[in-house]
Amino acid sequence: LHRFARRTAHFEWVDADGIAGLEPDLAGRFRAGLLFAEEAHLCPRCAMKALVRRLEGMGVSFHFGRNGRNLPGGFHVTIDCRGFAARDLLPELRGVRGEMLLLRSGEITLSRPIRLLHPRIPVYVVPRGDGLYMVGATMVETDAEGPVTARSVMELLNAAYSLHPAFGEADIVETAAGVRPAFPDNLPRVHRQGATITINGLYRHGFLLAPAMARQAAELIFNRMQSSERAK
């Protein structure tokens, strides 16, 4: 914990009583922890649905399931957010596989994401409401797709169980795996290649970093439009 604390910021130390005060169901289980009071979390699926609704309301049209085919053409700018599939334009991209579980338990209540300092997996348990808990995520240096492996299920369940034994009785509601797109330095990039702007390499932080990346892309487009308008 002390080694981790040296590499991070914006936290306060909490002792066993502090942990019990913040998360009563974890009372007596841990002697110390770090509280990131400003940390927030969201439900990614709800966020995506809300974004689509909002953007449709603003006149944006979505064409799902076309894989880039049969789309209307003639745009001034294309923003390519194909993730790992954009290797044709971004050959440096690599895939980092991540797996997660969704558990349901009526026996434990957590009110904030809890991270465990696990030697191999940076595991976190995120309450999603209605007794649902997302347990994630593995980090495997491969772009292999396919279902969650038995080893990963064991490791994630072990981690959840070590956080609280009540997770041993939880229902496994869902397992899922995905490939995170990452550049060699694990940092995201917004890049312009002609009339195409690529946003990629969001690695483990796509939801966290999306607003900043979108802002950078919007600035690129806006500046480009301004300069072409001035040229007219």
Ligand X SMILES: Cc1cc2nc3c(=O)[nH]c(=O)nc-3n(C[C@H](O)[C@H](O)[C@H](O)COP(=O)(O)OP(=O)(O)OC[C@H]3O[C@@H](n4cnc5c(N)ncnc54)[C@H](O)[C@@H]3O)c2cc1C
> For residue 82, what are the CA distances in angstroms to 37, 67, 90, 93, 176?
34, 10, 11, 11, 19
Interaction between residue 51 and ligand X (CB under 6 A): no
Q: 144-177: buried (b, 16+ CB within 10 Å) or exposed (e) per residue?
A: eeeebbeebbebbbebbeebbebbeebeeeebeb
Strand spans (E) along 74-188: 78-80, 94-104, 114-115, 124-129, 132-136, 171-182
Among residues 101 and 108, whose Cβ is nearest to ligand X? 101
**What's the closest the beta carbon of residue 208 comes to ligand X, in angstroms?**
4
Out of 81, 139, 214, 220, the only residue in the binding site for ligand X (CB under 6 A) is: 81
Q: What's the one-letter identity of residue 217?
A: A
In sequence order, the 6+-apart residues with CB closer than 8 A to the CB of 158 are none
Among residues 27 and 47, whose Cβ is nearest to ligand X? 47
154: Cα within 13 Å, side-chain hemisphere = 3
Out of 85, 116, 132, 173, the only residue in the binding site for ligand X (CB under 6 A) is: 85
Stretch that binds ligand X, among 13-21, 101-109, 164-172, 177-185 (CB under 6 A): 177-185
Interaction between residue 83 and ligand X (CB under 6 A): yes
Q: How far apart are CA 103 and CA 126, in angstroms?
A: 10
**What's the closest the beta carbon of residue 96 comes to ligand X, in angstroms?**
8
Which residue in 89, 43, 115 sits closest to 195, CA to CA? Answer: 89
**What's the closest the beta carbon of residue 8 comes to ligand X, in angstroms?**
16
**What's the closest the beta carbon of residue 204 comes to ligand X, in angstroms?**
5
Under DSSP, the state recorded for 140 is B
In this structure, the chain runs to a length of: 232
**What's the closest the beta carbon of residue 209 comes to ligand X, in angstroms?**
7
Which residue in 173, 174, 33, 191 sits closest to 99, CA to CA? Answer: 174
**What's the closest the beta carbon of residue 36 comes to ligand X, in angstroms?**
14
Contact flags string 86-125 toward ligand X, x per CB under 6 A: ------------xxx-------------------------
Interaction between residue 159 and ligand X (CB under 6 A): no
- Whether 112 and 41 have beta carbons less than 8 Å apart is answered as yes
**What's the closest the beta carbon of residue 136 comes to ligand X, in angstroms?**
5
Among residues 23 and 99, whose Cβ is nearest to ligand X? 99
Among residues 66 and 230, whose Cβ is nearest to ligand X? 66
Interface with ligand X (CB under 6 A)? 67-68, 81-85, 98-100, 136-137, 178, 180-181, 200, 202-208
